[in-house]
Amino acid sequence: MQPLLDLFGDEATLTQALFLLTAIGLALGFEFVNGFHDTANAVATVIYTNSLKPIVAVVWSGLWNLIGVLTSTGIVAFSIVALLPVELILNVGSGTGWAMVFSLLVGAIVWNVATWYFGLPASSSHTLIGSILGVGFVNAQFNQGGGFGAGINWTQAQNVLIALLISPAIGFIVAALLFLVAKHLLPQPELYAPPPEDQPPPVWIRAILILTCTGVSFAHGSNDGQKGMGLIMLILVGILPGLYALNLDVSSQTITQLMTQTRAIAPILQPYGPPFEASSESAMQELSQFLKTDALLTESTIPALAAIQQSVAAELTDGLTEVTSLTQLPPATRQTLRSQLYLTSATLTKLDRRHQLPSAIDPATLEAYQQASNALIQFIPIWVKVAVAIALGGGTLIGWKRIVVTVGEKIGSEHLTYAQGATAELVTMGTIILADSLGLPVSTTHVLSSGVAGTMKVNRSGLQGATVRNILLAWILTLPAAMVLGGGLFAIGQFVLSRWGLT
């Protein structure tokens, strides 16, 4: 047992270390199952057009998923995290926090495995987000004054759900149009006929199909791979705040920028009401309540924001000597500073969105503060990216065939053609890259399968009604089913914890 504790140092007890390993294992397990679904879509077209052998296609796709994960910005990861109740984000190491983490991950994994077993291209994005929303609903009922659904960031949820809803329509329509354009500009008959059995396509067609497979794999890694990263970071912060509450590798220039913008904003906020004590716990509670409900601005909100801004400045200053490296701060201070930065950044964003921000805070100052603050609290270590990439690739290697068969054979009444595979994957790649740049999660599964269906429709290849119906049912049911699973598991966990006095 002692070597396990030595791995984490003085910060973790044996129980915490075991919880940490279990939670990270579940998060990686979610990404592993994600490989069954979404990464399998990336290789479906090259396998069913005989462009690559299955094992070669899967390994090649896994490599580009790895590259996509490693080069990702993390913006999608933290857009997923922003859906969580604010108290979980701040106190994931509590009993309730652990119940939330385990519930949403187990709920998502159960639904993903069930839909994979039946060969349905269900969305891992829908599943995880549904699980998070279910936990948020139930959490609001356990917190006094929360109200129905108060624990959910509805603005962020709206953006995410809109992206998930419209991306399949984009896949269907744009792929259909692109396919028609291709038929007009590239009238080679072999592009639009089912590929001969066990014969690879001509070299130039093969190159295009491999290129689109590569692009989808890269985009998938960059977008889907982030969905477990944010949860892993929350888990690490909860157990090892001294190491992961703040990005210890940020430059002294970033710290100086944060100090400068904090000192610029804090005085503007002070005249707006009776002050809190600079490090008052009640100030943090005020902002937490403001963020987790849809309540209007109170007379205490901006003074609380000013108090925490003053505390941030104080945490980064030791007498007359400014902090130049976050390693200079004690571990407990790092955790407090992370909570303060999260609360102030999220509150400023919400006030700006509602047009309730004091007019003296100009947009450039706010943007500079947000950039410096996010640099400290929104980061993903390289080992987390590598672990997620390996989990995605491993899932693809183990479970690719069920989903590939559905995409290649069961959506259309005829076999997938070269042009259909290329156009569907090209549209999928473009849609995911666009969503990635906007920080929005989308479903590779739904975009690609919709793209294939669109090309089948305009090519008059026919659609298999049973498969399309099942895909639509999975699309419609995934969100509510995952909400019930995640929320139900959390309710059970919260009940057990309350009986044991561990909440």
Predicted pLDDT of residue 502: 61
* DSSP conformation class of 407: I
**For residues 500 and 494, what is the distance between their CA atoms, to the nearest angstrom?**
10
**For residues 417 and 82, what is the distance between their CA atoms, to the nearest angstrom?**
41
Task: Say what percent of the chain tops pLDDT 90.
Answer: 8
**For residues 431 and 441, what is the distance between their CA atoms, to the nearest angstrom?**
11
160-210 per-position pLDDT tens digit: 778 877 888 888 899 999 999 988 888 888 788 777 777 788 888 888 889
Q: What are phi and psi of 276, to 5 degrees?
A: -90, 165
At what angle are helices 252-269 and 363-377 packed, to 10 degrees?
130
**For residues 211 and 45, what is the distance between their CA atoms, to the nearest angstrom?**
11
pTM of the model: 0.80
Mean pLDDT by 10 residues, the chain (503 residues): 46 72 90 74 77 85 85 82 77 78 89 77 79 84 59 70 83 91 85 78 85 87 82 84 89 88 82 64 82 70 85 69 80 87 89 83 88 91 89 74 61 74 88 83 80 84 70 79 91 80 61
The H-or-E segment that residue 321 falls in is strand 321-322
**For residues 156 and 162, what is the distance between their CA atoms, to the nearest angstrom?**
10
Name the token pair of 264: 């610029």
Cα–Cα distances (Å) from 267 to 38, 258, 297, 316, 344, in that order, read 49, 15, 19, 17, 14
Predicted pLDDT of residue 40: 65
Predicted pLDDT of residue 262: 85
Please list the alpha-helical segments (H only) found in 35-120: 40-48, 54-70, 75-81, 86-90, 95-117
Cα distance between the two ends of the chain: 26
